[in-house]
């Protein structure tokens, strides 16, 4: 058994995990199913978009050379709603009634908006204002040119990308497969919510980690295979780990510490050359393991609920994103002003749970309350993880530190735009 490697930083551990993770193979899926996935191939357009010059207004398609001054009267020779094409070319002194999106007829080169005209007789119209001369035509190909790349390889497919794909008549795309993340919690003290009586009577504690880990995996874009809870028993644990076979990644919680009931750690350390166990230079969440089990990468997280979530955020989420083919794996940090003095208890890099609020145009971070690694409500209130460098055990109010934004969860109370 390899002794624990003491003193690895979270950055080094993240990089070590990511070195062992490869993007999943690709598959072709319908654009509807592609939401949140990453394009494995660039998409070129088979058409110009728009397909023809068309009207940006309801009005009259005219020849600019006919409407040099206000008050010109034109003959209406055609009527072109969206979905129709003009039946004839527009000659001198003529125009066509036209509607938004309809193709500009031959001969015409601009559209006078309806509000600037007066109908004279059934087939005649007067142009009262010439401000639209030369305007209101959406040009063929002004959005997308046939043959051009509309979405690069590596693009994340969101609603707008799905819209672009649909608009160029592309029904399916090649993407990196959506990973399935297997999740397992260990501990004799744990119960799922179907053993509610045991939890309410105080004989067991709820395995909230199954729920937080599954939710975080789904939010990152993965599917979840929840393997439930395993007792602190070596054989039982080995058996249950095998159920992760076929998943892209196994994530476990608990059983990573130094106690004699910490079987996950023992199995991980015995599982082969590529395996590592770290006592990381961070709080919360020091004991983290990484290895391979039956060909499946395995990240072992500590069991304390806050530690589980913070280490999932730092080590598992980027791994999920790499499996999905993302090239940007990390959430951003932002400078924040610290709203209260902070003292840390150990020379470790701290990831403190904070709320962020906008004070005088600046983000201010305040602790969400007691920071114990078992106090999950501190995480439930957090917008961000405030990063306190390991050489800083005392932070004064007003200092600037970096905060890792957990989500775009900062909201304000009134319409800001
Ligand atoms: P461990 O990392 O196994 O030593 O677990 C540390 C502590 O975390 C345990 O005593 C439990 O209180 C808590 N814990 C472990 N696993 C879970 C879980 N799945 N859900 C909620 N709390 C847990
Ligand atoms: Mg345990």
When pLDDT is cut at 50, 70 and 90, the band that residue 5 belongs to is very low
What's the CATH fold of domain 27-49+148-176?
A: Molybdopterin biosynthesis moea protein, domain 2 (3.90.105)
Q: Which residues line ligand 1 (CB under 6 A)?
A: 185, 187, 189-190, 205, 207-209, 253-257, 302-305
Supply 104's token pair. 């500009």
| pLDDT at residue number 121 | 86
CA distance 283 to 281: 7
Identify the weakest region by mean pLDDT among 131-140, 205-214, 340-349, 407-416.
Answer: 407-416
Asked if residue 277 has pLDDT above 80, the reply is yes
Q: Convert the pLDDT of each residue in 223-250 to its tens digit.
A: 999 999 999 999 999 999 999 999 999 9
What CATH code would you report for 330-412? 2.40.340.10
360-377 residue pLDDT tens: 899 999 999 999 999 999
Nearest CA to ligand 1 atom 5: 303
Give the start-to-end residue ranges of the domains of the chain: 5-24+178-323, 27-49+148-176, 54-138, 330-412
Supply the residue whose CA is at minimum distance from atom 11 of ligand 1: 304
Domain formed by 54-138, architecture: Beta Complex (2.170)
Q: At 353, is the secondary structure helix, strand, or coil? A: strand
Q: What percent of the chain has pLDDT over 70?
A: 97
The whole-number pLDDT of residue 411 equals 64
The count of other CB atoms within 10 Å of the CB of residue 34 is 22
Question: What is the distance between the alpha carbons of residues 297 and 272, in angstroms, rounded to a whole number?
Answer: 12
How remote is the CA of residue 293 from the centroid of ligand 2, in Å?
20
Q: How far is the CA of 303 from the centre of ligand 1 (A)?
A: 4
Q: What integer pLDDT is reported at residue 81 of this predicted model?
A: 97
Q: Tell me the CA–centroid distance for residue 291 and ligand 2, in Å.
A: 19
398-403 contacts, C-beta under 8 A, 24 or more apart: 398/337, 398/338, 399/337, 399/338, 400/335, 400/336, 400/337, 400/338, 401/335, 401/336, 401/338, 401/365, 402/333, 402/334, 402/335, 402/336, 403/333, 403/334, 403/335, 403/336, 403/354, 403/356, 403/363, 403/365
| Integer CA distances (angstroms), 24 to 174, 241, 317, in order | 12, 21, 15
Residue with the smallest CA separation from ligand 1 atom 18 is 207
Task: Give 253 Cα–ligand 1 centroid separation in angstroms.
Answer: 7
What is the CATH T-level fold of the domain 5-24+178-323, as seen in this structure? Molybdenum Cofactor Biosythetic Enzyme; Chain A (3.40.980)
Q: How confident is the model at residue 7 (pLDDT cuts 50, 70, 90)?
A: confident
Distance 303 CA to ligand 2 centre (A): 6
User: Distance (Å, rounded) from C-alpha 195 to C-alpha 201?
Assistant: 10
Candidates 185, 188, 408, 194; CA nearest to 308 is: 185
Average pLDDT in the 247-255 region?
98
Ligand 1 atom showing the smallest separation from residue 255 Cα = 3
Cα(184) to ligand 2 centroid in Å equals 12
> What percentage of residues in the chain have a pLDDT greater than 90?
89
Say how many Å lie between the CA of residue 187 and the centre of ligand 1.
7
Q: Which atom of ligand 1 is nearest to the CA of 210?
A: 19
Q: Is the pTM of this model over 0.85?
A: yes
Q: State residue 415's pLDDT score.
A: 75
> Residue whose CA is closest, atom 7 of ligand 1?
304
Ligand nearest to the CA of 376: 1
For residue 3, pLDDT beyond 70: no
Q: Which of 254, 262, 264, 279 to mutate to test the pocket of ligand 1 (most atoms within 8 A of CB)?
A: 254
Q: What is the CA radius of gyration of the chain?
A: 31
């Amino acid at each position: 058994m390899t002794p624990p490697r003491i003193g690895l930083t979270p950055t080094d551990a993240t990089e070590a995990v990511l070195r062992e993770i490869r993007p999943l193979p690709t598959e072709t899926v319908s654009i509807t199913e592609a939401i949140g996935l990453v394009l494995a191939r660039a998409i070129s357009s088979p058409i110009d978009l728009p397909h023809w010059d068309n009207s940006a207004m309801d009005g009259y398609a005219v020849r600019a050379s006919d409407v040099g001054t206000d008050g010109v009267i034109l003959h209406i020779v055609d009527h072109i709603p969206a979905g129709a094409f003009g039946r004839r070319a527009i000659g001198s002194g003529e125009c066509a009634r036209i509607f938004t999106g309809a193709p500009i007829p031959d001969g015409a080169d601009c559209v006078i908006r309806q509000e600037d005209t007066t109908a004279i007789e059934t087939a005649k119209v007067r142009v009262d204002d010439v401000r639209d001369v030369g305007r209101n035509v959406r040009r063929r190909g002004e959005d997308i040119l046939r043959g051009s790349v509309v979405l690069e390889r590596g693009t994340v497919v969101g609603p707008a990308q799905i819209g672009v794909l649909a608009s160029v008549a592309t029904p399916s795309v090649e993407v990196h497969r959506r990973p399935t993340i297997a999740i397992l919690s260990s501990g004799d003290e744990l119960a799922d919510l179907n053993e509610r009586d045991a939890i309410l009577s105080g004989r067991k504690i709820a395995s909230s980690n199954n729920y937080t880990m599954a939710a975080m995996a789904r939010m990152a874009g993965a599917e979840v295979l929840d393997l439930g809870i395993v007792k602190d028993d070596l054989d039982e644990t080995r058996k249950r780990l095998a159920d992760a076979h076929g998943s892209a990644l196994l994530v476990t919680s608990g059983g990573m510490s130094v106690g004699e009931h910490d079987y996950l750690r023992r199995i991980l350390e015995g599982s082969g050359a590529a395996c590592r166990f770290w006592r990381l230079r961070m709080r919360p969440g020091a004991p983290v393991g990484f290895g391979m089990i039956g060909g499946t990468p395995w990240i072992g997280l500590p069991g304390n609920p806050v530690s589980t979530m913070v280490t999932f955020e730092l080590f598992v989420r980027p791994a999920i994103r790499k499996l999905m083919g993302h090239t940007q794996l990390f959430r951003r940090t932002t400078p924040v002003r610290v709203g209260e003095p902070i003292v840390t208890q150990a020379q470790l890099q701290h990831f403190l749970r904070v709320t962020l609020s906008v004070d005088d145009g600046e983000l201010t971070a305040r602790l969400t309350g007691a920071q114990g690694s078992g106090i999950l409500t501190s995480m439930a209130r957090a917008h961000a993880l405030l990063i306190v460098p390991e050489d800083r055990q005392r932070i004064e109010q007003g200092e600037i530190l970096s905060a890792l934004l957990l989500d775009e969860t900062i909201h304000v109370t009134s319409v800001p735009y």
